[in-house]
Structure 1
Amino acid sequence: MELSDIRREYTRGGLRRRDLPEQPIELFNHWLQQAIEAGLTDPTAMTVATVDATGQPFQRIVLLKHFDQQGFVFYTNLGSRKAAQIEQNHKISLHFPWHPLERQVHITGVAEKLTTLEVMKYFSSRPKESQIAAWASKQSSRLTARQALEGKFMELKKKFSAGEVPFPTFWGGYRVRVTSMEFWQGGEHRLHDRFLYEREDDHWHIDRLAP
């Protein structure tokens, strides 16, 4: 089968202007809860897009850990490639692909570092193995072999077996303060529904976009 022949109809329902709340975070929360209730794999997984100093875009999958009216939160190694790119360009893009529900959410915004207290609080809530993995992996650095990473993990697991894992100062997180949110709902005959929320001072302007 040719790739160009792969297609299907989107029939799960539409999205109408009258159904949209004034605040996009309310619709996002509703859609996320439906994704969770539908049993989607990794419903909080999102693509995080950044741009390097040469203008080259990069994308990776990261898990959303918190969201509210202040923004969307994720955590990472501050020595990672994404962190280095955010340091140079704070503008960022997030994308949630909920394919089984024929929905997507695209977010643009500005990434701000979380406070040390916020990061420490979350780090202490992680499983111990995840805490150790944060110490073992120098994220985005080159590895000679996987065995080197596994060996470092086992070494640290033994070292911290009798006590708490200390908080690594190179580990942190970001809050993405939203400037726009687009909600996409699949429709029949490729007549998809797209609504764009854009922040204007202290309120949101809503536009319907052509599919």
Structure 2
Amino acid sequence: MDIGHIRKDFADHAPLTREAIADDPFDQFTRWFDEALASAMPEANAFVLATATAQGQSSQRTVLLKYYDPQGFVFYTNTESRKAKEIAANPQVSMLFPWYGLQRQVKIEGHIEPISREQTLRYFLSRPKDSQLGAWASRQSSVINSRQLLRQQWAKMKEKFRDGEVPLPDFWGGYRIEPHAIEFWQGQPSRLHDRFLYRRDQAQTDWLIERLAP
């Protein structure tokens, strides 16, 4: 099916200039993330995580950002899932925040590594109990016969842990993506988009900032 006719020009946003953006990419990310939250778009903290096998076969999925600071971006998942196995085989990943409502996107490339069990536990205990039970009920990425089986497993976990706190599963944990490149993309009319790339210098101490052609 030819869908080449589907086309929409971008709004006339204020130009993104070197003078207007922050010197530090995490400061710039905070500006845009706060604006994404204020826009009331659904799941502003959702991003697409791309991983690859040791042989280079890539895969993507949407996950939720739960914490970030100048050391990187943190999310949580089942550590026996496909994504976790690919991370173990190839710790170079990329992430993309597709903020369509603002005609913006942020692309991040970097190295990923597990965070401490202590930090994982603190977050796990902050989750609603039903979500804690869900972590126990689902062996993520494994083949199952039906949704009914999944619901039965969840009910089994609910009964098992009904009289106390739900413990942290040994197959569930957090990961931190430590970026070496962060690109901010702002849509503009006539496809003359604004793109700025922050990348680490060779000493991995300072951020270099470059404008990219759209």
User: Could you tell me the TM-score, scaled by structure 2's length?
Assistant: 0.96
Is 1:207 aligned to residue 210 of structure 2? yes
- Regions of 4+ moved over 2 Å: none
Q: What is aligned with 1:124?
A: 125
1:104 is paired with a residue whose SS is: strand
1:48 is paired with a residue whose SS is: strand
Is 1:9 aligned to residue 12 of structure 2? no
Q: 1:73 to 1:12 in 2, by over 3 A?
A: farther
Is 1:191 aligned to residue 199 of structure 2? no
The unaligned stretches of length 5 or more in structure 1 are none
Kept in 2: contact 1:12–1:102 (CA 8 A):
no
> Which amino acid is 1:5 matched to?
H
> Which amino acid is 1:26 matched to?
D
| Residue-by-residue CA offset, 1:95-136 (whole Å, 9 max, x unaligned) | 000001000000000001000101111101100000000000
Q: How many aligned residue pairs are there?
A: 211
Kept in 2: contact 1:194–1:208 (CA 8 A):
yes
Q: Distance in 1 between matches of 2:136 and 2:167?
A: 9
Q: Once superposed, what is the RMSD of the aligned Cα atoms?
A: 1.1
| Residue-by-residue CA offset, 1:113-166 (whole Å, 9 max, x unaligned) | 000101111101100000000000001100011111110001111221221111
User: Could you tell me the TM-score, scaled by structure 1's length?
Assistant: 0.98
Kept in 2: contact 1:12–1:101 (CA 8 A):
no
> Which amino acid is 1:204 matched to?
W
The unaligned stretches of length 5 or more in structure 2 are none
Q: Distance in 2 between matches of 1:178 and 1:55?
A: 20
Q: Distance in 2 between matches of 1:93 and 1:163?
A: 38
| Superposition pairs of residues 76-91 of structure 1, within 5 angstroms | 76-91=77-92
Q: Distance in 1 between matches of 2:7 and 2:193?
A: 14
